[in-house]
A and B are shown apart, each in its own frame.
Chain A
Amino acid sequence: MTALAKLLKTTAFRLTLLYLLVMALFAAFLLGYFALNTRRLMNEQIVRTVDNEIEELTGQYEAAGLRRLVHIVESRANQPGSSLYLVTTPTGAGVAGNVASLEPGVIERTGWVETSYRRLEEPDGGEHIAVVKVTALPGGFRLLVGRDLAEREHMFRIVATAGRWSVAIVLVLGLVGGVFVSQRVLRRIDAMTDKARLIMAGDLSGRLPVGGSGDELDRLATSLNTMLERIETLLRGLKEVTDNVAHDLKTPLTRLRNLSEAALRHATSEADYRQALEAVIEESDGLIRTFESLLMIARAESGEPRADMVVFDAAAIARDVGELYEPLAEEKGLALRVEAAETVAVRANRELIGQALANLIDNAIKYAAEAEPAAARLPVPAAAEAVSADVGAGPAGPVPAGAGEIEPAAGTGARLLLDAPPMFPAAPADVVVSAAVVGDRVELAVADRGPGIAPEDRARVLERFVRLEKSRSKPGSGLGLSLASAIARLHGGELRLEDNAPGLRVVLSLPRPAPA
């Protein structure tokens, strides 16, 4: 595409042309109006003065007769200027004045007429144009008074010329300006287009140039850059996930392959083969589970509206799932307690919330169990000691029942103890599942007293496949928390990780349903 064709195609240039046309028309109209009006004004002035003069001359004629009229006319006609005078006899023969010849028939008719004429003082001169008024005087004489129009025409010509020039100048300046502006815009657009091509070609870190003037192009570029930023983040996330998927699926696949190969090489008896096949099945089950979780996360994250959201009791779910896991906790030597209000209505997908809660409780049990070897968890005395350590100066043994008399200044540790419900005197449950309404949210929480998660790691563990220990030795796909988080987001909620001091408190916070 040639530069000119490109220029002609730009919106800026076309707009400039359009404006130019409108401006030129406007200027032409304005000047035309001005010229016509001037002409009209001049005409009016001519008419007025000629009328006055005729009136005056007629007056003189009536008062003092022809001789007086001729005298006045002669004296006026001799003065230089644009005035025309002619007095004729009834037959049309000139008596006095400065007109040499007129168009035929002009003197016969009374009233206003525009005519060409020759002046007496320049009989060989060219014809002039004048506007004249002819009056019949009593006695058959005729009086003609007029004004040469050269002045008017001259004025009109000046205005017309000015008009043509100004239109031409507007056009030229406009064109030059249009080209200049369009090229400027075009250059910036070209720069943006080039950059966009580069980005499309794969340089995702590229950004569109922003001029800094804050104009509409800058705003557009800024918006597009924000969009690119988001896309880049998403793609980076996708890449990380793909890498993790590759790692976490390839590892079990490799184990699967190794198991099978080893069996082929070494197995000698049916029992050997059976054992190998069972190991293969177990490994595949892990793979399938990982796949299922990934699919669920993907579906939850795609955020497709689900038809099966119903209002149900979150407290009941907390109790149900808590009860489901309670024996497992007990088997690991942990106490699991459910603290839930009577009913906590929530609008959600029951299965998904159940799954999320199950993941959280499963995690809590896994980590709490690992954190506390069974011997260290003998509840009452150990916990009482911990409390007295908090109080500092307090008695070394179990806190007596009368501890209520301790002054508030004695420390928060003591007050904490006093505020605690008497049913759970010292040993807190290792895993607490709770459901409660907090403000306009419904919060399902699972708290453990395990090692917890350092604040800087909390955002990271919600990502797919992240397990904090590097060895990845513990069972689990690393998808539990990210699945719970995806489920929370699908319901318009969030998953929050808090410090349970010690341990971790995971809160699944959901919007409270509007009362029906």
Chain B
Amino acid sequence: MSPILRMPTVEASPEGRAVASDAKGHTMRLLIIEDDRDAADYLVKALREVGHVADHAADGEEGLALASHETYDVLIVDRMLPKRDGLSVIGALRTKGVTVPALILSALGAVDDRVKGLRAGGDDYLAKPYSFAELLARIEVLARRHGGREETVYRVGDLELDRLSHRVTRGKEEIVLQPREFRLLEYLMKHAGQVVTRTMLLENVWDYHFDPQTNVIDVHVSRLRSKIDKGFAQPLLHTVRGAGYMIRDGAR
């Protein structure tokens, strides 16, 4: 049974295309450890289309060997693999001191499987079937997180967020945010220039991994948008159709 894969929707909007090809301007080197040939081919092709380079390993042993000897930005690891289980591949890499971020892909989506995956050393977990936009957003965030960006003050255009004093200003104006709105903006700004999906927001800002049924996140984001963008000529908080949101200084 091959998982339902969706066409990348990033190119569905001009903004999405821009993000994929040139917003960060750097090419990632990725390793896909996945035994389903079709799924892997699709992923390699889709990642190549958005400007990344992807290798493919068809089983756990091969994946472990490749990941140990080559340098990758992010590993995409299926959980159920021939020869060696995905979690054990990650465990073996961590034991060897290889800290490359790993995204676990699994048909097992339930909450405790996710917890198990993260406990085994995975950095993120995505249940199949996933959307390519979701996968792309997550690996880009993973690659960046590995580089580390923990400034005290985040700046995007004339928007400033001070993580210590919890003050947000745009131009000369102070913007008053609710605590949750602050955390939402903080997460978006931490990943400025990157697509952040709704699920990522729910997981990182609210710390929930469940399906919220309705797009509640959209309402929160549009509230935030009305506070930071309303009355300003240059919008900073953008909707990336079919994927999520991004904070970006459009003027640059």
Contacts and interface: CB of A to CB of B under 8 A. Distances in A.
Interface in B181-208: 206, 208
Nearest to A362: B213
A31 to B, nearest CB: 76
B106 to A, nearest CB: 13
Given A324-B212, A327-B220, A328-B219, A284 B111 contact: no
A124 interface: no
A316 to B, nearest CB: 11
Contacts of B211: 289, 292-293, 355
B206 A351 contact: no
A355 B208 CA distance: 9
Interface string A290-323: 0011011001000000111000000000001101
A476 interface: yes
Nearest to B206: A324
Interface in B1-38: 4, 6-7, 9, 12
Contacts of B219: 327-328, 331
B157 interface: no
Nearest to A320: B206
A47 B232 CA distance: 140
A480 interface: yes
Interface string A342-372: 0000000101101100110010011000000
A331 to B, nearest CB: 5
B111 A281 contact: no
A327 B223 contact: yes
A255 interface: no
Interface string A319-341: 01101110110010000000000
A288 B129 contact: yes
A480 B242 contact: no
Nearest to B216: A328
Interface in B226-248: 242
Interface in A122-148: none
A352 B180 CA distance: 22
A281 B220 CA distance: 24
A157 interface: no
Interface in A267-298: 274, 277-278, 281, 284, 288-289, 292-293, 295-296
B210 A354 contact: yes
Contacts of A299: 110
How many A residues are at the interface, by size bracket?
A: 35 or more
B112 interface: yes
Given A296-B110, A299-B110, A281 B210 contact: no
A314 to B, nearest CB: 14
Given A327-B219, A328-B219, A331-B219, A349 B111 contact: yes
Nearest to A289: B211
Contacts of A366: 214
A307 B212 contact: no
B9 A281 contact: yes
Contacts of B127: 292
A289 B112 CA distance: 18
A323 B180 contact: yes
A366 B212 CA distance: 13
Contacts of B214: 328, 362, 365-366
14 contacts: A274-B12, A277-B7, A281-B7, A281-B242, A288-B4, A293-B211, A308-B115, A320-B206, A321-B208, A323-B180, A324-B220, A328-B214, A354-B208, A366-B214
Among all A-B residue pairs, the 4 with the closest Cβ atoms:
A355-B210, A327-B219, A351-B111, A362-B213
Interface of B: 4, 6-7, 9, 12, 109-112, 115, 127, 129, 131, 180, 206, 208-214, 216, 219-220, 223, 242
Interface of A: 274, 277-278, 281, 284, 288-289, 292-293, 295-296, 299, 306-308, 320-321, 323-325, 327-328, 331, 349, 351-352, 354-355, 358-359, 362, 365-366, 476, 480
